[in-house]
Every structure is written in structure tokens, then in C-alpha cells.
Structure 1
Amino acid sequence: MPNQLTPQHFFRRRRIQLTVILLILIGIYWLSMALVNFQTMTALTQVPAGLIWLFKNFIPTERSLSYLSAISFQLWRTLLIAIASTICAGLFSLFFAILGAKPTAPAPYWHLVIRLGASLVRIIPVVAWSMILLFSFKQSDFTGFLALFFMTLGYLTRAFTETIEDLDPDKLSALRAVGATYTQCVFCGVLPEVATTLTSWLLYMIENNLRDATLVGILTGTGIGFLFNYYFKSFRYDAAGLIVLLIAILVITLELTSTKIRKAIA
């Protein structure tokens, strides 16, 4: 057949498409850099010097170990706030997801209301939430809790809703056919099927919120973020480096623990 697409022509067309896309992306990058007057090559030449300064000053020393007790206490508080805000947001998200998912929505308009609400909450970054809430609740752990809570609420509501909507609708139809009530369909047909996926999302958000809680602490003057900002502005870079190291260790530990939990419940 003269019009038949041969493998050689197919791969050639794909290479051309990828090349065009790559050139467009490069063009967008260079245009953006030109508009903001960002010198790419100058910045790249400064990277080695910056890394050398970083490794010279942010390496923990024997003196920084004297701050270990205070750092550990604030890191523990930050972890608890991240876990508490995530679990609390997860419970509300599950409730809203059940009301907003198409298979379980009591009425069609609930789907639109929940989707719109989750999108509005989610598009506000955690930094903006921190600054907004700071005026109402001042510098406190509760401000950080609320900032993480609202950001997590938007993400988990969207994730939980899509998870429920991915269920096989025939299972719910079968339950309704045998006379199951709405509550029975939710607790016997929906939640057991999505429990593993919802738990994975919850564990992921705990890891993510621990990292975000550091930034929130800098803005709200609480937790490990405040302590990092204090040491950094006091030129105690070794203590600030110890904080970064301990946060990295804690995040890796959480990721390993989350992986084991996911495998156990899979």
C-alpha cells in the first residue's frame, strides 16, 4: 500500500515532533530569561563558588552539637503539627470526597460544589495561607497548623474524589439492587475498596507537610523553621546546617516507613 506508514517513517515523524517541541521549549526559556534579564551563563559560572561556600559553612561542627537538644525539640513539634494537620484534613477530605464523587454524591450539584471548593482552597499556596492566617491568629503553632490544614484539605479532597470515581460502578449498582442503603453502600462498598489508596495519599501528604512545615515555621515564627531562620540570621551556619541534616534524615525515615506501610496494606 503506497499510503501505509512504515516504521521508518513513523520514527522519523516522532523525532521531528520531539525536535520541534524541544526547540519551542528552549525558545520559551530564552525568551523568559531575556524578559527578566537573567544571565544564564553568569549564573552557571557562580554555582561552583556557591557550593564551596555552602559546604564550608553549613557543615555541622562540634559547637553545633550543643544546639542538638533545642533543635530536636522543635523538630519533634514540627513533625507533630505536620501529622496532626494532615490527619485532620484527611478526615474532612474523606467526608467531602464522599459527597463530591459522582458515584456517591447525594445530588448532582454536590459534585460541582465540592470540586469548586477544593480547587479554590488548593490554588492558594501554603505560603499565602500562612501570611493570610498570620494576621488573624498571630505567630503561633495553630497558625502553622491551619496553613497546612487548608492546603492539605484542597489536595486530598481532589485526590480522594478521583479515587472514589475510579471505582467500578457495577459494585455499587449491585449493592443498591439488593436493597442496601446509602450508608451501607459507602461503608461496605466504597471505603473498603479505596482504603489502601487513601492511606497512601495520607502518608504522602505527611511527608510533604513535614517539608512545608519548615517554610511555614519561618513565616509564622514557630517550630523548626523559626529556629533555622534564627540561626541563619545569627550567622550560626553550622547550627542551621545541622537542622537541614536532621530534617533530611527525618524525611528519609518517613519515606521508608511509608513505603513499608504501603507494602503491608497493599
Structure 2
Amino acid sequence: MKTNYHSPQQFFRQRRLRLFTVLVILLGIYFTSMALVNFQTWNSITKIPAGLIWLFHNFIPTERSISSLGQILYQLWRTLLVSISSTVVASLFSLVFAILGAKTTTPNEAVRLIVRFGASLLRNIPVVAWAMILLFSFKQSDFTGFLALFFMTLGYLTRAFTETIEDLDAEKLQALQAVGANYFQCVFCGILPEAASTMTSWVLYMIENNLRDATLVGLLTGTGVGFLFDFYFKSFRYDAAGLIVLLIAVLVIVLELTSTQIRRAIA
């Protein structure tokens, strides 16, 4: 039912009332949750300055941490390779599944539903959960981290690629079918060239994301720069742990700038 407003003042009054109602509900949820978990907001806020001072005082790299730079860079390189390789391999599988799962290119409805369900299942399991599940079968190794990133990326990119294909102009596909093009010709000549730039952007984004996740996975799998960070942290070598965090941040920024340039080049 459409609401009729007699004046602009009444319209804005209704908007403010709705906004106020939503704000009250959110505050009610927050304070209720805070009471249930016994979280003391004010005490936590007052401790933030002291925590930040301790953080910046202890996690600043020193000359001692620089002596470990070679080992840190080597483990960071291994982590980068795992994140790139898992993303690239997952993107190839995702492309096939996306073609099978998109409405415009699926062979039949049953295949589309199976692909959609599988992608949702893989995507909604956190990468940490994947690492812990696979850890029992493949032990602590780079391959375990690779598989954890692979499965999560597979579900994420399959969903992204599927939506990219479905958002394309269907008239071009219909035009190819009208002139007698077969299924594979429609896919490789009509779908993939149009979707290539968007899919490449998704792959580049997942490489950046997987580099951050690979660090976390390394804490569980005992590999890469994540394990090295955990080792330094537990050894109270906070300066070396801070150097690792700094290098990860620098590498992520470099990857982001590089991917931005690639996106501009293929746009």
C-alpha cells in the first residue's frame, strides 16, 4: 500500500521517526547483548589509550628484528605463492562451475541448482574452519593451507562469476544462437570475452584477500609467515612480530596498487 504525504514536512517527519525507531532498536540490541555477556563498554574504552601505547612501544621493529629480515621475507614469499596459486587454480574451476551454474549457460536446471548449492556451502564455511578440518587429514603443511584457501575461494568465485555471466546482455548470446553457433561457440565467443575484465578483477581481489587469510591459516597449519609470527609472538619477540605485520601491510598495499593498474589496463 502506497503512503500519501500531505506535505514535505510530513514526509520528513515520517523519515525521522523511522530512523529514530531503527536507532532505538539497534541500541536496545546492543545494550541487551552487553548485559548478557557482561561487557563493560566504558571500562574498555578507557583502556584503549594504554593498550595503544603498549602496542606502539613493543611492536616497533628494532635492529634486533632486522637481523631476522631474511627469514621473514622467505616465509612471506612462500605465503604469497600459496595465496596466488590457490586463487589461480580455484578461478579455473570456478569458471567451469559458473558456466554450468548461470541461468543463461546452464545445460539444465538440476545442474544449476547443484552448482549454486555447492558454491554456497563452500563459501559460507570460514577459511579457518577449512584449515582445522583439513589439518587432521593433511597435517601441518603448505598443502593444507593451499586446500583451505582453495575451497573457500572456489565457492566465492563461483558465485561471483555466475552473477557476472548472468548480468551480461542476453541479446548477444541469442544473436549467436540465431546464426547457428553451438553451445561452446556461444560460451567462448560470446560470454567469456564480455566477462573477462570483470572476472579478472575478482581474481585480483581474491589474491589480495587470500594473502591476508593465508597469514591466519599459517597459524594453524604451522607454515608460512603466519607460523613465524606466532613463534615470535609466543617468544615475546614483539619487535620481530611487528616487523612481520609491517611487511604484510606493505605487500598488501603493493598488491592492491598493482591490481588497480591491471584493472585499468583491461577496462
TM-score band, normalised by shorter chain: over 0.9
CA distance in 1 between counterparts of 2:259 and 2:207 reads: 9
- Counterpart code for 1:239: A
Identity between Structure 1 and Structure 2 (%): 75
| Pair 1:187–1:39, CA change in 2 (3 A) | same
What's the counterpart of residue 36 of structure 1? Answer: 37
Q: Alignment partner of 1:243: what SS?
A: helix
State the partner residue of 1:251: 252
- Equivalent residue, structure 2, for 1:167: 168
Alpha carbon RMSD of aligned pairs, Å?
Answer: 0.9
Cα offset for 1:4? 4.8
Structure 1: which 4+ aligned runs deviate by more than 6 Å?
none
Indicate yes or no: 2:15 matched with 1:14. yes
Contact 2:119 2:155 in 1 (8 A): yes
* Residue 26 (structure 2) pairs with residue 46 (structure 1): no
CA distance in 2, matches of 1:192, 1:7: 49
Contiguous gaps of at least 5 residues in structure 2: none
Shift of 1:196: 0.7
2:106 aligns with: 105
> Is 1:147–2:148 an aligned residue pair?
yes
Per-residue deviation at 1:11?
A: 1.9
1:55 is aligned to 56
In structure 2, C-alpha distance between the alignment counterparts of 1:19 and 1:125, rounded to whole Å: 35
Paired residues for 1:1-266 under 5 Å: 4-266=5-267
Deviation at 1:5, TM superposition (A): 3.8
Q: 1: distance between equivalents of 2:101 and 2:210?
A: 24
Return the offset for 1:143.
0.3
- How far is 1:167 from its partner? 1.1
Distance 2:118 2:265 in 1: 34
Offset of residue 8 of structure 1:
2.3
Cα 1:92–1:5 shift into 2, 3 Å: farther
Summarize deviations over 1:16-67 as a string: whole Å, max 9, x none: 1111111111111111111111111111111111111100100001111000
Counterpart-to-counterpart distance in 2, 1:71 and 1:124: 30
Deviates more, 1:182-191 or 1:39-48: 39-48
Work out the CA distance in 2 between the residues paired with 1:71 and 1:51: 25
TM-score (norm 1): 0.98
Q: Distance in 2 between matches of 1:26 and 1:86?
A: 40
CA distance in 1, matches of 2:125, 2:156: 11
* CA distance in structure 2 between the partners assigned to 1:203 and 1:11 by the alignment: 43
- What amino acid is aligned across from residue 14 of structure 2 in structure 1? R
- Alignment coverage as a number of residue pairs: 264
Unmatched 5+ stretches in structure 1: none
Q: Give the TM-score taking structure 2 as reference length.
A: 0.97
Deviates more, 1:241-250 or 1:164-173: 164-173
> For 1:156 and 1:6, how far apart are their aligned partners in 2?
48
Shift of the alpha carbon at 1:7?
Answer: 2.4
| Conservation of the 8 A alpha-carbon contact between 2:100 and 2:106 | yes
Whether the 8 Å contact between 2:5 and 2:11 is mirrored in structure 1 is no
State the alpha-carbon separation in 2 of the partners of residues 74 and 113 from structure 1.
38
In the TM superposition, residue 9 of structure 1 has moved relative to its aligned partner by 2.0
